[in-house]
Amino acid sequence: AQSVAQPEDQVNVAEGNPLTVKCTYSVSGNPYLFWYVQYPNRGLQFLLKYITGDNLVKGSYGFEAEFNKSQTSFHLKKPSALVSDSALYFCAVRDPQRSGGYNKLIFGAGTRLAVHP
């Protein structure tokens, strides 16, 4: 079965320091991977995706993610964290069994990022 795992419930980072939010995946075939962010009292916002091509994907708000096939990982990174980055982050994988434009995403449990001044 397709799945993603986010091993950390919470990540704490000091403002200005680099941050990493971890995600590993388990899929059959080529993975379609995504990161979404959920700010308090708001819906999810798309950050970035990996479909094919360069392993380092750049997204919104200065975030990037590195696809590592050998480690089946897709960690989210940012060189310098901001307090405003504090939010809930979800890794997701597209279910390859769905086709024809039907995009069922399987979400990880989420990681709460807390950036301290």
Partner 1 sequence: SAVISQKPSRDICQRGTSLTIQCQVDSQVTMMFWYRQQPGQSLTLIATANQGSEATYESGFVIDKFPISRPNLTFSTLTVSNMSPEDSSIYLCSVGRMGDREKLFFGSGTQLSVL
Residues making contact with partner 1 (CB under 8 A): 32, 34, 36, 41-46, 49, 51, 90, 94, 101-105, 107-110
φ, ψ of residue 8 to 5 degrees: the values are -110, 125
Report in angstroms how near the CB of residue 55 gets to partner 1 at its nearest: 17
Task: State which residue, 50 or 81, has the beta carbon closest to partner 1.
Answer: 50
Task: State which residue, 13 or 108, has the beta carbon closest to partner 1.
Answer: 108
N-to-C CA span, the chain: 41
Report in angstroms how near the CB of residue 17 gets to partner 1 at its nearest: 27
Report in angstroms how near the CB of residue 39 gets to partner 1 at its nearest: 10
Task: State which residue, 78 or 110, has the beta carbon closest to partner 1.
Answer: 110
Tokens 């990174």 belong to: 77
Report in angstroms how near the CB of residue 117 gets to partner 1 at its nearest: 26
Collapsing DSSP to helix, strand or coil, 41 comes out as coil
Task: State which residue, 93 or 115, has the beta carbon closest to partner 1.
Answer: 93
Shortest CA distance to 83 belongs to which of 47, 42, 113?
113
Sign for the CA dihedral angle at 26, 110, 67, 32 comes to positive
Alpha-carbon gap, residue 6 to 48, rounded angstroms: 16
